[in-house]
Amino acid sequence: MDSQKKYPRIYSFEFFPPKNDQAAANLVLTVEQLAELKPRFCSVTFGAGGSTREKTFETVVEIQKKTGIESAPHISCIASTKASIREVLEAYRSHGIRHIVALRGDMPSGMMSAGEFRYANELVEFIRAETGRHFHIEVAAYPEVHPQAANAQADLRNFKRKVEAGADSAITQYFYSPEAYFRFIDDCEKLGIDIPIVPGIMPITNYSQLSRFSEGCGAEIPRWIRKRLEVFGDDRPSIRAFGLEVVTDLCRRLLERGAPGLHFYTLNQAEASLAIWENLGLPQ
């Protein structure tokens, strides 16, 4: 874990583009509350295959303009052409965006062609070749191994390819076992990977939604957490209280052992991230 201790701490919040006017109004309030905490940056996801491309663009530009906080779009390369990615990069550059989360993404169902990029390392390489050092590039990391990886070692080597292609830092898939993260960092150190790898934190507020997400992305909900959440059924206040305790403890352990910050998957809600932040005694 030692390699991670030298970096200044980075705290960030992730949002998704709102689907309608009411969701957009809710997001404005959420962003206002979380911006008060002065995160290093905010990021905005895209839909599978770039389906929210315009909405992601509008949301990122709006957050940066309104709050003055650096904002970063997620960009996926699967099913994309080089010309279309070039266009996206140019649009972001001309709107003052300097930070990107570069991903392969997942093929939307029904779409057949993989496009001109196969993996995220090719996207990182392309962004560097096209725009030099203009963008700070984040990539994804998987302490519990990406679900499509041949094995853990291959996944690590593939993560290294993204770093060698020019990634500046990484955000992990969420996890609830700190040991998975510490071991991943130790493995990265052995491979000479030397960038900040910030844990992605998913607050626990809704068990059925969390189970669905976790099945899709291969993040494990430990049995002892699942079993307790199951007992609560539809009792949302109890789920939230237990989730807050568990996730605060996870964050505390990560920071104590040298994690270089936290990236909150807010799901466009401020309350859970704010409560964890307060419990940890982070600067208000």
Catalytic residue set: 14
Residue 103 near ligand FAD by CB under 6 A: yes
Positive or negative, the CA dihedral 44, 192, 214, 47 is: positive
**146 lines the binding site for ligand FAD (CB under 6 A):** yes
Contact 228, 222 (CB under 8 A): no
For residue 236, give both structure tokens: 């949302």
- CB-nearer residue toward ligand FAD: 75 or 239: 75
Residue length of the chain: 284
Spell out the residues 6+ positions from residue 51 whose beta carbon is closer than 8 angstroms to its own.
108
* C-alpha of 173 from chain center: 7
Amino acid identity of 266? T
Q: Give the integer Cα–Cα distance in Å for 31 and 34.
A: 5
Shortest distance in whole angstroms from residue 231 CB to ligand FAD: 30
Least separation in angstroms between CB 75 and ligand FAD: 8
Q: Which of 1, 24, 48, 152 binds ligand FAD (CB under 6 A)?
A: 48
8-47 residues in contact with ligand FAD (CB under 6 A) are 45-46
DSSP state of 119: S
- Residue 76 or 268: the one with the smaller Cβ distance to ligand FAD is 76
Give the type of residue at 203. Answer: P
Task: Give the residue nearest to ligand FAD (CB).
Answer: 45
171 binding ligand FAD? (CB under 6 A) = yes
Residues lying near ligand FAD in the complex (CB under 6 A): 45-46, 48, 74, 76, 101, 103-106, 119-121, 140, 146, 148-149, 154-155, 158, 161-162, 171, 173, 200
